[in-house]
Amino acid sequence: MFDFKRLIKKYSKEPAYILRETAGYYDWEQGGMWVPGGEKEIEIEGAVVPLSNEDLQFDEGGTYTIEDRKLYCYEEIDKGEKIKHKGKIYTVMEKKDYSDFTEGLRIYFLKKAGD
């Protein structure tokens, strides 16, 4: 199997972040005060690249544009989760498992979120 980790490191010039929602909770040390949930940025190592001409066609996730991206990484990310890269927010539309080539490698198709 080929190890894509070096390639991913080479092409991950800017960090990418998973934007995960955190649940609210009661802070019992503060008398049971409710603390609302929020959004947490989790930095991941991955290569975010433009889509190829072949990718810019109708696929499971819908029609893609030149604003959309692919993310190559070893992280488990769910469809619908948000990714932040270079100040832009993307939604994970599709996930492809490439474990046949290297264990744990995944490719995610990202749709740019509206402004």
Give the pLDDT confidence of 44-89 residue by residue, as tens digits: 989 999 888 777 765 555 678 889 999 999 899 999 999 999 999 9
- pLDDT band for position 96 (50/70/90)? confident
pLDDT of residue 31: 92
What is the spatial distance between Cα 23 and Cα 31, in angstroms, rounded to a whole number?
A: 19
pLDDT of residue 3: 62
- What are the phi and psi torsion angles at 50 (to 5°)? -65, 160
pLDDT of residue 58: 58
pTM of this prediction?
Answer: 0.78
pLDDT of 10 > 70? The answer is no
The answer for residues whose C-beta is within 8 angstroms of residue 79's C-beta and 6 or more apart is: 92, 93, 94, 95
pLDDT of residue 11: 65
